[in-house]
Homo-oligomer: A and B are copies of this chain.
Amino acid sequence: MQPRLDVLTLGVPDLDAARRFYVDGLGWEPLLEVPGEIVFVQVGHGRLLALWRADALETDIFGDAARGGHPPPGAGVSLGHNVDSEDEVRRVVERAAAAGATVLKPPQRATEFGGYHGYFADPAGFRWDVVHNPGFSVDGDGRVRLGAGDG
């Protein structure tokens, strides 16, 4: 598993409020947005910040299962780690599990964007989203291109 962080997703309880702050307030221009769902902003060479409805993020990780209990550190965020194939998603999640991670969502087709992914939590509870997303590419100058997804 290569050390890389490609997308930091913030699960926001109020997407309109988050958009008003980052887009209207700070003047950060969305790279792509789906109104009422998600806003992507490029925040460096080959990296994105995603503002996503918190309930959608939690459902993406845990399905409809109730979570209960106190949220662990890192609740509300996920760290996106891109790889080049579905097979590599499986290998990375296995490697992480062997190293002591908890698999939260076994590798599977990602209904949200038409790729393939799985989630694991590190020992402190921080959630990594291991993703093969054919719609995500980075130009030589670091600019991210994000397909609208075919899923």
- Contact residues of A with B, CB < 8 Å? 1, 3-6, 8, 10-14, 17-18, 20-22, 24-29, 41-47, 49, 54, 70-77, 79, 95-96, 98-101, 122-126, 142
Are the C-beta atoms of B11 and A123 separated by less than 8 Å?
Answer: no
Are the C-beta atoms of A3 and B122 separated by less than 8 Å?
Answer: no
Task: Output the residue of A17, A18, A44, A70 with the most chain B CB within 10 A.
Answer: A44
Alpha-carbon distance between A49 and B126 when the two chains are bound, in angstroms: 12
Are the C-beta atoms of A41 and B100 separated by less than 8 Å?
Answer: no
Alpha-carbon distance between A47 and B142 when the two chains are bound, in angstroms: 13
18 sampled A-B residue pairs with Cβ under 8 A: A3-B49, A4-B43, A5-B8, A5-B43, A5-B44, A6-B44, A11-B73, A12-B123, A13-B124, A14-B123, A14-B124, A18-B124, A22-B122, A44-B44, A45-B142, A70-B70, A74-B76, A74-B77
A124 CB contact (under 8 Å) in B10, B70, B79, B142: B10
In the complex, the count of this chain's copies comes to: 2
Classify the interface of chain A: helix, strand, loop or mixed: loop
Alpha-carbon distance between A5 and B22 when the two chains are bound, in angstroms: 13
